[in-house]
Structure formats: C-alpha cells, structure tokens
Structure 1
Amino acid sequence: MDGHEQVEVARAESERGELVLRERRDPHGPTSLELRANGVFVMDTLETSTERALATAALALVEHPRAVVVGGLGLGFTMHEVLADCRVERCAVVEIEQALVGWMRDGTIPHGPALLADERVQVVVADVAVALAEARPATYDLVLLDVDNGPGYLVHDANAAIYREPFLATVREVLRPGGVLVVWSAAEAPQLEEAMRAAFGAAEAHPHEVRLQDRDERYWLYVARVPESA
C-alpha cells in the first residue's frame, strides 16, 4: 500500500450516467479532489496545468476578451484562469451536470463558492451545443471548449457532435469579428482541425509540451478565428 486513501465525497446520477467526486488523502502530500464520469477520469485538483494553459493561451489570442464562454465547468480551473484576466468583463460557463454546479455552489468542492461569487460569472446548466445555438449572434469574443479530453476521449458519446462542422459553424455565429474558438485536446485531432477549417475558413493546431507526474506529454490547442472584417 502507498498510504493513499480515497474517500467518496459525492455521487450523482443523471440520464448521462454517474458522476463521482472523490477525495484522495496522501499522508506525505496534499489532499486532492478527483472527478470521474461513468468511471472515466475527468480531472483532479492535483494537476491543473492543462486547464490553466488552455485559458492562458486562448486569452493571449484575443486583444479584447470582454465576453468569454467556457464550455465545461469541471473543477473550475479554466474558469479561474479566465477570471484572473482583468480584461474579462463577463464569463459564461456552460455545464450540463446540475450536480457538479451544485457541488461548486455549496462548498462540496471547497474552492467553488469563492469562484462562483465573482459577479462576472454566469453559470448556464445546459448542453453547450444547445446553449450556443440559443445565444445571440456576435455576442462573445472567445469560446473555450474543454468538455472532454478531446474528440478522441469523449466523456459522453453525444459530445462527438461538438467537434463537427455544424456545431462549429454555430460557434462562429456567436463570435464577434476577431473572436476566437479554442478547443483543447489530449491528442492530435486532424479531423477536428479540418472541421474547424470548414466552419471558419482557417484553423491552426498548437502543440503544448507539458510535464505531468514525471512524464513528458504533448497536448493540443485547436484555434479558429473570425476575420476582423466579418
């Protein structure tokens, strides 16, 4: 035994399956939280560099990211990094799991209440595809999609539609001229790049080298921009 103890903190069921929050207690290090959906690891509080990298890299691509959409609440670290940017005036976080939003609000996730208390935050409990289809055109400067570990590692099979041209064209419609879509992926995803190019006219893949638990990993940010003159 390595001395680690895992304790289930919260569990919820929805039509998409099971969501579980666990606390991992390490006698030699920090206690951390881990989120799993249907048994699949989503994220934890021990290693948050990828969420932060997504937000930091994306924000650097937009001159005036006044209004931002974050697709996927997770444990709040992408949102946290977005809110750390003083240029951001409004941040809409779209999360399909009501239970996860509840855990952030009621302190089951300890850092949640402080994050959600930021007056710039609006949490929308919905499928991100539905939420953006209902949004007004040319409303946002930046859309960050972090709902899966990329198109090859779906949390829910229905999320496959998020990485295809029809939905990506919907995202383009809600972006202002010069607005940017950034999609995070744990692996290279040429079909996603192709779909983004079809929807936006151009797209780029940005590899990010990260060091995780003594391993060198490469993650990808897929970027598409609405022309300034659009």
Structure 2
Amino acid sequence: MEYVEIARAETERGELVLRERREEHAPTALELRANGVFVMDTLEVGSEQALAESALAQVEHPRAVIVGGLGLGFTMHAVLADPRVEKVAVVEIEQALVDWMRAGTIPHGPALLADERVTVVVADIAVALTEARPASYDLLLLDVDNGPGYLVHDVNAALYETPFLEAARRALRPGGALAVWSAADAPELAETMRSVFGNATGYGHDVRLQDRDETYWLFVSRVPSEA
C-alpha cells in the first residue's frame, strides 16, 4: 500500500492531512486524517450514507438541516439527496478543509458546495449552536468524531455532554431530532441524551470496512411535536 500526500495544514488543533491511498487490485482513495486520527476516505462511505438516511427518516419535514462536520462531504451529499430538504448549514471548524473542498483539491467538493441550498460556516459547532436562533432547525446531524469513544480532539468530549445537548435541543423545532454518529455502542451517550430530551434510541448499522465487518451506531433523540 502506498500513500501520496495531497495537502497538509497545521492548525491550533493539530495536523490536518489529505492523502491518496494506492493499493494493488483496489481503487485509489482519498483519505482524511486529523491530528493523526483516521477520519474517513472516499471508498467506504456507507456509514455517512446511513447516518443521513436514518436521521432523515426520524423527521417528517426536515426542511432545515444542520450538519456538524464537513469531512469529505458525503454526509452533506446524502442529506441534499432528500427532496424534502430546503437548506443545509454545514459547520466545520477547519478552514483548510473547506478551502480544499472549494478549490477542487477534493475533486467532488466544488459541485457539492455549488448547491444553492448549502451554507458552510467555519466555526466550532458548540459555538454555532449557542448563537443559533431557538427552534431554527428540524434536524441536527453530529459527525465530528468517530463517536465519544474515538475523539479526533480531546476537547470534543464536551459535544457529548449535557450543556451541548441542551443547546442542540434549543436549536431544534418541535418534531425535530438530533442524530449522533458513533463507531461503537455508547450507552453513556444515550443516557445523557435521554436526560436532556426525555428519549434516546440507538440504531446499529452493519458495514463492511476493508474486508472486515463492523457495526456503527446512530443515536437519535427527538423533540416532542407541539400538541
């Protein structure tokens, strides 16, 4: 297996690297790593698709969606495929990643960001939610880590705790939902979500990753609909 570096950026959170993975008898893939942690690649995108589709299924009218984490854009792409979605706000903390998408360093980036429904905000998702108008979104998808047990940055632990979850609830409209992606079961997260929203359900998704079977998880909490 051979790796060819495509782009690199040094940020206050560490190193962000985009590299091409070349393997005999396998398609070439782009791979994103943050602070030395594998984030995602362009071949195994089933988890991003499952996150979006499962989350969208939880809401009757997901007109306004906020996605925490741009990554390589596949969660956003799956959200945009739903005709019910009228606008998508993507909150990404790394300016370099947004620049790579816009410039075509990530080849499919310009086409995705050209969708008129998309707004990209370079910010910490926790700050963005604090500043969001109450009841302004129908769905929040949190996809900034591989889950609470596999943090890209240690400070992200706060995204799975009560204050952030309360901010998420305030930003959601009645009938809206929060969906959090995790690479493993996270019962403590589910319990914290349940304490804030009054409900939480975990959904396991079986995926095939590099010749091995894995189960990824989506944790969903809903805001009650108005009577």
TM-score with structure 2 length normalisation? 0.98
Q: For residue 60 of structure 2, what is the aligned residue in structure 1?
A: 63
**Partner amino acid, structure 2, of 1:50:** S
- C-alpha displacement at 1:191, in angstroms? 1.0
Q: For residue 144 of structure 1, what is the aligned residue in structure 2?
A: 141
Q: For residue 189 of structure 1, what is the aligned residue in structure 2?
A: 186
Identity %: 76
Q: Does 1:104 align with 2:110?
A: no
Secondary structure of the equivalent of 1:73?
coil
Q: In structure 2, how many angstroms separate the alpha carbons of the residues matched to 1:37 and 1:124?
A: 19
Secondary structure of the equivalent of 1:34?
strand
After superposition, give the CA deviation of every residue in 1:42-73 in whole Å (9 maximum; x if it has no partner): 11001100011100111111111000000000
Equivalent of residue 155 in structure 2, options 158, 168, 173: 158
Q: Unaligned 5+ residue runs, structure 1?
A: none
Equivalent of residue 27 in structure 2, options 30, 52, 64: 30
Secondary structure of the equivalent of 1:81?
helix
Secondary structure of the equivalent of 1:220?
strand
Q: Does 1:199 align with 2:196?
A: yes
**Partner amino acid, structure 1, of 2:189:** L
Equivalent of residue 210 in structure 1, options 197, 200, 207: 207
Q: Unaligned 5+ residue runs, structure 2?
A: none
**Partner amino acid, structure 2, of 1:45:** T
What pairs with 1:110-149 in structure 2 (closer than 5 Å)? 110-149=107-146
Q: In structure 1, how many angstroms separate the alpha carbons of the residues matched to 2:153 and 2:36?
A: 12
Q: In structure 1, how many angstroms separate the alpha carbons of the residues matched to 2:59 and 2:29?
A: 33
- C-alpha displacement at 1:229, in angstroms? 1.9
Q: In structure 1, how many angstroms separate the alpha carbons of the residues matched to 2:55 and 2:186?
A: 18
Q: In structure 1, how many angstroms separate the alpha carbons of the residues matched to 2:61 and 2:212?
A: 35
Q: How many residues are aligned here?
A: 227
Q: 4+ runs of 1 displaced by more than 6 Å?
A: none
- C-alpha displacement at 1:27, in angstroms? 4.7
Q: In structure 2, how many angstroms separate the alpha carbons of the residues matched to 1:137 and 1:14?
A: 31
Q: In structure 1, how many angstroms separate the alpha carbons of the residues matched to 2:155 and 2:119?
A: 24
- C-alpha displacement at 1:213, in angstroms? 2.5
Secondary structure of the equivalent of 2:191?
helix
Equivalent of residue 225 in structure 1, options 216, 222, 225: 222
Q: For residue 50 of structure 2, what is the aligned residue in structure 1?
A: 53
Q: In structure 2, how many angstroms separate the alpha carbons of the residues matched to 1:211 and 1:96?
A: 29
Q: In structure 2, how many angstroms separate the alpha carbons of the residues matched to 1:140 and 1:68?
A: 6
Q: In structure 1, how many angstroms separate the alpha carbons of the residues matched to 2:126 and 2:48?
A: 21
